[in-house]
Amino acid sequence: MNFTRTVLVTGGCGFIGANFVKLLLKERPDWRVINLDKLTYAGNLQNLAEVKESENYHFVKGDICDAAMIEALFTAEKIDTVCHFAAESHVDRSITGPADFIQTNIVGTFTLLEAARKTWLGGNWDGKEPSFLHVSTDEVYGSLGETGFFTETTPFDPRSPYSSSKASSDHLVSAYFHTYGLPVFITNCSNNYGPYQFPEKLIPLIFHNALNGKALPVYGDGKNIRDWLYVKDHCEAIVRVLEKGVHGQSYNIGGNNEKQNIEVVTVICDLLDAKLGLLPSGEQRKSLITFVKDRLGHDRRYAIDASKIKDQLGWQPKVTFEEGISKTIDWYLANQQWVDSVMDGSYQEYYQQMYANR
């Protein structure tokens, strides 16, 4: 088959990356997808088990910091599009162990940019028009007060090692456009949720604990506000940027769903009570809510102004928070084996079983 694009998806076994790979294989069958993932703790091959034999899909286990491997992959597969998801992404982990965030998020992004520059701009590129899309976060902008929204021109003001590493990588990507003319896009999204999210994040963690009658830890007073974006909406926005975006531009991607953390926790509890009944004690699951010491440097509020991508590219989110959270809870309830394998670590055996004899 003559594919119209060959897309390198980094971190394609992670939460957003896996949803993105599935979307491409379903909705862009004329694109070839190369999934590069190191398979760290948050990378799970089971997320893509049903598509692993697709003719336009190929998995490569590798590290985005391995320059020789990356450059060879660009050449061998004739990569013309990069969707760069791979990142260390959990704020709490960045506070206790920032080194991995610097290495993966900054050095890894630099390594990919260099490979793209050498391949596409080195004078020998005879492939399709290339694009490098860097997926980033609204956390690079810092913290908002009670009013206002982040726009693409909001100055960066990161507050954690995680957000600082992402801000650094955003600056690198922008610099490669301005210095070398590398054809790049940057997207900054709000909090994603949906199927396959690793349970260190708020929604899957609260789901698992509430399902099993465990304490539901909520930082501080629970009134920190986030804008919630259903993962499929995010993936569709990225495709829209690839197909319609202007190189060198940044696009904010938001869900138009601002919620306090305590609201999110309460909604999950109420949904589980409605779907499964009350706890064995007869209490509602929100009785398990436990307020804990606030996270260091905890940003109070994030909110995205996504009018640029709506006005210029015609994208806007389709899924309300109420619809999306119900879909997400239903997915977790229907995929308890996946949840259990992630919680007990047995998901990591899947790679060994599938690839040991290859």
The crossing angle, in degrees rounded to 10, of helices 202-211 and 261-276 is: 40
Told to judge if 157 belongs to the known catalytic residues of this protein, a careful annotator would answer no
Contact 260, 224 (CB under 8 A): yes
What is residue 228's three-state secondary structure?
Answer: strand
- From 37, 80, 88, 138, active-site residue: 138
Task: State in Å, rounded, how far the first CA of the chain is from the last one.
Answer: 25
Distance CA 130, CA 124 (A): 13
Distance CA 300, CA 48 (A): 35
Picking from 45, 46, 20, the residue whose alpha carbon sits closest to that of residue 33 is 20
The β-bridge partners of 226 are 259
Picking from 23, 32, 186, the residue whose alpha carbon sits closest to that of residue 109 is 186
Phi, psi for 135 (deg, rounded to 5): -95, 120
Told to judge if 139 belongs to the known catalytic residues of this protein, a careful annotator would answer yes
What's the helix, strand, coil split of the chain in %, to 5? Answer: 45, 15, 35
Strand runs labelled E in 126-271:
131-137, 184-189, 191-193, 216-219, 225-230, 250-253, 258-260
Contact 227, 138 (CB under 8 A): yes
Strand runs labelled E in the chain:
5-10, 31-37, 57-61, 81-84, 131-137, 184-189, 191-193, 216-219, 225-230, 250-253, 258-260, 289-292
Q: Which residues, 6+ apart, have CB-to-CB distance to 204 below 8 Å? A: 197, 198, 332, 339
- From 37, 80, 88, 139, active-site residue: 139
- From 57, 80, 141, 162, active-site residue: 162
Q: What residues are labeled active site?
A: 138-139, 162
